[in-house]
Amino acid sequence: MTLRQKEIKIRVSDAEYLALQRRNTKARLAEWMRVVCLDEKEASRFKAPPCDPALLRQLASIGNNLNQIARATNSDNWKAVDRIKVISALSSIEQAIQDLKDSYS
């Protein structure tokens, strides 16, 4: 990654600013200007690598389980059996993550 220490300030009119914003295809104007003005390639650090759809489904399922656990832990109705269920669910999530790591390593 390039360390950027220099800053360039330019003044533009309202019309020029709007024209730049209309042409901008990036999240930030500075990113777009670097690509256009310096012929930089797209920054690969912002692109997610290709991923197996089955893996994404598994990760989404794990995320859903974590959300259910979070919802349960934030409720006022905490019983011993609920704690056991949460620990069991977390254990199964941990195992699922390990299985995914093993199958995609």
pLDDT tens sequence across 68-96? 878 877 777 778 788 888 888 888 888 88
Model confidence at 11, in pLDDT bands (50, 70, 90)?
very high
Distance of alpha carbon 102 from alpha carbon 105, whole angstroms: 5
Task: Report how far apart, in Å, the C-alpha atoms of 11 and of each of 8, 15, 16, 17, 22 are.
Answer: 10, 12, 9, 9, 17
36 has pLDDT over 60: yes
